[in-house]
Amino acid sequence: MTKVQVRFRLEKPLDERTMKSIADAHSLYGMMLVHVSPALDEVIVDYDASRLKPEDVAGTLKRGGIAVIPGK
């Protein structure tokens, strides 16, 4: 396992639904930790790079209800 951290900007301000999705995101395949930056404008993800690429992480977050902008 290769643990990597990546940051994604949030497409819109945090709301209750997005916070719930972030709280549940650690259960998504290959993701170990998902949390919000102190400025509340980014999501920080620790993931298993032997299973996922950053593009996969962004897609998985979006499918999980977390709208992010990849490529940061």
> Which pLDDT score is estimated for 70?
78
Confidence band for 1, pLDDT divided at 50, 70 and 90: confident
The secondary structure of residue 25, as a DSSP letter, is G
The secondary structure of residue 65, as a DSSP letter, is T
Domain 3-69 has CATH 2.30.40.10: no
- In tens, the pLDDT along 25-65 reads 877 788 999 999 999 999 999 999 999 999 999 998 998 88
Helix (H) or strand (E) holding 58: helix 54-63
Distance set, CA 21 to CA 35, 48, 54 (Å): 10, 19, 18
Would you list the domain boundaries of the chain?
3-69
Which value, in Å, is the radius of gyration of the alpha carbons in the chain?
Answer: 11
Please check whether residue 71 is in contact with residue 13, taking contact to mean a CB–CB distance below 8 angstroms: no
> Which pLDDT score is estimated for 25?
84
Rounded Cα distance between 14 and 53, Å, is 25
